[in-house]
Chain A
C-alpha cells in the first residue's frame, strides 16, 4: 500500500520529491502531497490547517514523518489521513463538484489549478448550509469527504477529483463511486478513493474529526467515538502502489522506463 503521511509538513519533503520522477502521484514517498505533487508548490503546509485539540494525532503525525524521512521509498510505512470531514449525500455528480463554467481552468497550470480548488463543491445546492470552501479562500478546512452512493457520477471531467485535491482534500470515503470519477482519482492521485461498508454519510456530520487508517482499513470518528470498516482498495491497489497509471505501465513494461 502506498505510504502517505496525512499531515507531514510538505516543505520537509520538497527535496525528496524533487529527487523523484516527475508526476508520481502515488509514489511510496511518505508525504501528504503524494496525492498531489503540484499542491506543495502553491499551498500552505497542511499541518497548520488540520491541527485539532487532541494530542495523539500530533504524535502519530510525527512518527509518520520520521518514518518517511528515514525510509523515503518504503511502501511499508503506515498511512493515515486526518482532519475535519465534510458530509454529502448520494449521487453527488461532477457538476456539483465542479460546475462546467470552471472547466476552462486547465489543471496543469499552477495558478488555474489553485483556482479550481476554490470552486470545489460550489455546485452543491443551498440545502448544504455549510460551504465547502469559504469565499476568498482557495482551500477547504475539510480534509476528508464522506459521501453516500454513486459519488462523482455524471460527467467524466477530471477537473472533479483535481478540484477536490486542489482544495486540500486528501481522501474520500463513499458508499460507492461512479466509475469514471474513481478511475480519475486513481489516475491523478488527487484524492484517495475509499469505500465504506456501512452508510457512514448518515453517521457522520460535517465538522466531525476523523482519521482514516489505511492499513487497518478503518475510519475513526473521534467526535462520535465510532469506528467503521472500509473496503479494501481492490484492483486499483497495484496502480496506486506503483505510483499511478504511468508508473504502473512502466513497471509492466507497457511504456519505456
Chain B
C-alpha cells in the first residue's frame, strides 16, 4: 500500500492517481491551483447570521491578497492587512485554555513574572478545564486541581469546569471532561478566531475554521497577562478529499492515512487545510477527529472552512458573533494532496509511531489483549455510536477487556439516552453491556496518556492494546513495552469482538 510519487524539479504538476487514491501535486502553487480549480461548494442552507462589523476591504477579497484561511486569521488577529508565511507576529488570543495538568505550571510562571497580585488580561477569555488526572488518588494530582481552583476564584475566571466530588462525577454540574471536546460542546470554538491551549491537541478546534494550536506553560502565562502570543505564520498544506466515505470508514482512518503518507514530521510548522466533498460530508465530531491528530504529523494547526454544518452546530452553543474566513482562490499553498476517500480502507497505526500505517486487514494475525475506546480523538458521542453499530451488527460478545471512557459528561449521558440507529431503540450503553464491554467509566482523558498508576484502563503490563486514542509512542498509555495500535472506533470494536486486530468490514457488510 506504499504510495509512491515523484516530485520532479521541473514543473510537472500532475501525477497519476495511484491505487489508493492519493496523489501529490508539486509545489508550484499558483499554477496548480488554477489547473485543479475544484469548486468547493459554499452553498449555505441556513445560518445564524453573525453580526457583521464593517470589514476592511483588504479582508473581503476585493483586494486580491492571495492568503490562505490560516494567513487571514493571522492577518486579522495581528491587525495587519497582509501576512506571509514566515512572518513572526503578535496575535490577539480569543480563547486561552489550560487544564489541571499544565495549569499549575502556567500559573507558577504567571505569578513569578508578573507578581502575586497580577490579574489576567480578560477573565472571560480564559477557559480552565479539569480533565487530565481526575479520578485518581494521587495526592499531587488532587493538590494541583485545588491550586488551579484557588487561582480561578482569585481571578474570577468565568469558565472553570471544575470537579470537587470525585466519587460521583454526575454530582458536579460544572464538570465537563476532556478539554477539546468540552470547548466545542460549550461553544468556545468559533470560526475565524484564535485559540491557544496548553495542550498539543488544541488543534482539534481547527474543525471550526479557526486557528487553534498548542503551546507550553510559559507562552500561556504570557498570554494570561497580555492576551497575545508571538507566532510565526505557517505555510499551508492543502488536503483535498473527495469521494463518498465508505460506510466502514471514519475520519480516524482518513487522518491515519494522511499521517502515514507524510510522516510524523511531514507537517512540522505548517498548517493543514482540509477541503473537498468528503470533508463537507463529515459531521462536526468527525471533523474534530480529523483535526485532532494533525499534531501527530507535526502540524501547527489545522483548518476546515466553516459551512452549514458548522453554523448549525454553533447555533445553540454560542451567541458570540463570529466571522468565518476562507482561503482566497489565488491563495498560495506549499503543496496540495488529493485523496479519493472512496478508495480508502480501514487502517491502523502500528507500534510505536502514529505514522506506522498498515491496513487493518493485514494485521489480522495480531492478537490484542484489550481494547480502549476513549479520548478527545475517539471518545465522543459519535465514536461510541460507531462502536455500538459494530457490536450491534455482530450480536456477539467481546473476547477481550473493552474499556469505554466517554470524553465528557454529555457524552456519558448520550451513551445512556440516545437510541442507536437500527437497534430498535436500544442505547449505546445497553449494546455495550450486551456485548460484554466494561461499564462506561467517569469521563476524563483517562489512560490515553497513562498518567498516575491507578488510572482506569492504564497499561500497566507490556500488553497489546487497540485504541481509538492519538499516540502510540513507547510508554504512551503506561508501560514502556506496551504495544498500541491506533484505530478508528469501528476497527476497535471489531478487534474487541475477535481478539485480533480486525477490519470492521468483517461485521459491517
Tell me the A residues contacting B by CB distance below 8 Å.
Answer: 22-23, 91, 93, 95-96, 99-101, 103-109, 123-126, 149-150, 153-159, 176, 178-180, 183-184, 187-188, 235, 239, 244-246, 248-249, 254-255
Contact = CB atoms under 8 A, between A and B. Distances in A.
Contact of A106 (B90, B104, B473, B481): B104
Most buried by B among A96, A179, A246: A179
B351 to A, nearest CB: 10
B264 interface: yes
Interface stretch (B4-12, B106-114, B340-348): B106-114
B243 interface: no
B451 to A, nearest CB: 5
Given A100-B451, A156-B214, A158-B105, A108 B471 contact: no
Nearest to B101: A103
A20 B108 CA distance: 19
A158 B101 contact: no
Contacts, number: 149
Contacts of B481: 125-126
Nearest to B263: A150
Contact of A93 (B108, B450, B473): B473
B268 interface: yes
A123 B475 contact: yes
Given A184-B218, A254-B226, 6 more contacts: A104-B452, A149-B265, A150-B298, A153-B264, A159-B105, A178-B268
A125 B352 CA distance: 11
B474 A96 contact: yes
Contacts of B476: 95
Interface stretch (B39-47, B136-144, B248-256): B136-144
Contact of A108 (B108, B214, B453): B108
Interface residues of B, number: 54
Contacts of A254: 90, 226, 228
Contact of B198 (A101, A106, A156, A255): A156
B216 A125 contact: no
Contacts of A153: 264-265, 298
Interface of A is mostly: loop
B269 interface: yes
Given A96-B473, A254-B226, A179 B268 contact: yes
A184 B452 contact: no
Nearest to A127: B474
B15 to A, nearest CB: 25
B216 A183 contact: yes
B200 A180 contact: yes
Given A155-B200, A180-B200, A23 B113 contact: yes
B81 interface: no
19 contacts: A91-B264, A93-B471, A93-B473, A99-B475, A101-B450, A103-B102, A123-B475, A123-B480, A125-B474, A125-B481, A126-B481, A150-B265, A150-B268, A154-B200, A154-B473, A178-B265, A179-B269, A180-B200, A183-B215
Nearest to B265: A150
A141 to B, nearest CB: 22
